[in-house]
Amino acid sequence: AQKVTQAQTEISVVEKEDVTLDCVYETRDTTYYLFWYKQPPSGELVFLIRRNSFDEQNEISGRYSWNFQKSTSSFNFTITASQVVDSAVYFCALISTNAGKSTFGDGTTLTVKP
Amino acid sequence: GAVVSQHPSWVICKSGTSVKIECRSLDFQATTMFWYRQFPKQSLMLMATSNEGSKATYEQGVEKDKFLINHASLTLSTLTVTSAHPEDSSFYICSAQARGASTDTQYFGPGTRLTVL
């Protein structure tokens, strides 16, 4: 069975603060993929990043960075110098290469105040 | 990038009626499509997996007779909510896996918001 846990239900920060969204996962598969999605109020999922289980390199994309640690089964997401437009619900997800099914965490609602 | 559309984007219907939601891959062929349901302020829950030309595989707890899925072509999958009731009101999202692509390559549609009165 697969499980994705996003322990932070809601986070509120003031603009320009850095914020880290936590994601911990469980899977018995040795090969899998991890994702982060942003869901603004419109509802459409916006793809942010995909990482496979063999690639533990951290990644930075502009103000976004991701820290993948297989030893702790974590795939955390950091937004640097947050902006009001970053306000959304963020989902961490896992896909098992065996079944191809996506398992989503419960999401973290991020509110960035001006 | 690959585009997946859903139609309608929102629908309001009376209790007891059936509603059909379409999911189309616009610029690629999708051998597999996935249907998710998202209740307000909750996560996405996988309902079923459909492969072109074969019966859908439903997740545990999802009534196959209530949520009819038809994946008739490589670019179209439909979800029909039969005899809809207010508790079926939700945000339905599909995703499509391109033909020949690995399982991690899935593209999400924009979602359909269903409200049953």
Task: Give A64-104 pLDDT, tens digit per residue.
Answer: 999 999 999 999 999 999 999 999 999 999 998 776 778 99
Looking at this protein, which amino acid is placed at residue B63?
E
Helix, strand, coil percentages, rounded to 5, for chain B: 5, 55, 45
Most confident of B22-31, B43-52, B80-89: B80-89
CA B49 to chain centre: 9
Decide which of A28 and A101 is more confident: A28
* pLDDT, mean over chain A: 93
Mean pLDDT of the B53-62 span? 91
User: For A31-64, what is each residue's pLDDT tens digit?
Assistant: 899 999 999 998 999 999 999 898 888 888 899 9
- Residue B72: Cβ within 10 Å count: 11
What's residue B1's pLDDT? 67
Tell me the torsion sign for CA atoms B52, B54, B59, B62. positive
What's residue A99's pLDDT? 67
Task: Give me the half-sphere count of Cα atoms (radius 13 Å) on the Cβ side of residue B16.
Answer: 0
Mean pLDDT of the B9-29 span? 95
The beta-carbon neighbor of A107 closest among B43, B49, B113 is B43
* pLDDT, mean over chain B: 92
Distance from CA of A63 to the nearest CA of B (A): 22
pLDDT exceeds 80 at position B110: yes
Read off the pLDDT band of B103 (50, 70, 90): low
- Residues of chain B whose beta carbon is less than 8 angstroms from a beta carbon of chain A are 32, 34, 36, 41-46, 49, 91, 93, 95, 97, 102-104, 106, 108, 110-111, 113
What's residue B115's pLDDT? 97
Parallel/antiparallel/unpaired status of strands B4-7 and B19-25:
antiparallel
Bridge partners, B67 (sequence order) = B81
Nearest CA in chain B to A106: B43
Plot region of B9 (φ>0 → left; ψ -120 to 50 → alpha; else → beta)? alpha
- Given a contact cutoff of 8 angstroms between Cβ atoms, the answer to whether B84 and B13 are in contact is yes
What's residue B24's pLDDT? 96
Read off the pLDDT band of B100 (50, 70, 90): confident
Q: Containing H/E element for B81?
A: strand B76-81
Decide which of B29 and A110 is more confident: A110
Q: Radius of gyration (Cα) for chain B, nearest Å?
A: 13
Which are the contacts of B35, defined by CB distance < 8 A and separation ≥ 6? B23, B46, B47, B48, B49, B50, B67, B69, B77, B79, B92, B93, B94
Q: Please give the backbone phi and psi of residue B88, each rounded to the nearest 5 degrees, phi first.
A: -85, -5
